[in-house]
Structure 1
Amino acid sequence: MAEAHPSPSHKCTNSATESTRSFVESLFTAVALDNFGASFAEALSDDLVWTVTGSSPIAGTYEGKQTYVDGVLTPLRDVLVTLPVPIVEHIFADGDWAVVNWRSEGVYGKNGANYDMQYAWLMRTEVDEEDDATRKIVEVTGFYDSVKVTAVFEGYVFNTTKA
Structure 2
Amino acid sequence: MSSALRPLAIALSLALSMSSAWASENANADRLRQAFTNWQQGKGTVFDLLAPNATWTVAGSSPVSGVYKSKADLMEQAVRPISARLATPISPTVQSIVAEDDVVVVLWSGQATALDRKPYNNTYLWHMTFTQGQITEVKAFLDTYALNDLMRRVEPAQQ
Q: Shorter-normalised TM-score: what interval?
A: 0.7 to 0.9
Gaps in structure 1 of 5+ consecutive residues = 1-12, 128-134, 159-163
TM-score (norm 2): 0.77
Alignment partner for residue 41 of structure 2, among 28, 33, 41? Answer: 33
**Are the equivalent residues in 2 in contact too, given 1:76–1:83 (CA < 8 A)?**
no
Structure 1 counterpart of 2:119: 114
Offset of 1:113 from its aligned partner?
A: 4.7
Q: Percent identity?
A: 25
State the one-letter code of the partner of 1:116: N
**Are the equivalent residues in 2 in contact too, given 1:48–1:138 (CA < 8 A)?**
yes
**Are the equivalent residues in 2 in contact too, given 1:52–1:142 (CA < 8 A)?**
yes
Moved beyond 3 Å, runs of 4+: 111-114, 155-158
**Are the equivalent residues in 2 in contact too, given 1:123–1:141 (CA < 8 A)?**
yes
1:109-148 equivalent positions in 2, closer than 5 A: 109-127=114-132, 135-148=133-146
Give the 3-state SS of the residue equivalent to 2:120 in structure 1: coil
Q: Which has the higher helix share?
A: 2
**Are the equivalent residues in 2 in contact too, given 1:81–1:110 (CA < 8 A)?**
yes
- Aligned residue pairs total 137
Structure 2 counterpart of 1:99: 105
RMSD across aligned C-alpha pairs, in angstroms?
2.1
1:7-156 equivalent positions in 2, closer than 5 A: 14-34=22-42, 37=44, 39-105=45-111, 107-127=112-132, 135-154=133-152
**Are the equivalent residues in 2 in contact too, given 1:114–1:148 (CA < 8 A)?**
no
Q: Which has the larger radius of gyration?
A: 2
Report the Cα distance in structure 2 between the residues aligned to 1:156 and 1:62, rounded to whole angstroms: 24
Offset of 1:79 from its aligned partner?
A: 0.7
CA-to-partner distance for each residue in 1:96-136, whole Å, 9 max, x for gaps? 1111001123x232134532121111111111xxxxxxx11
Q: Which has the higher strand share?
A: 2
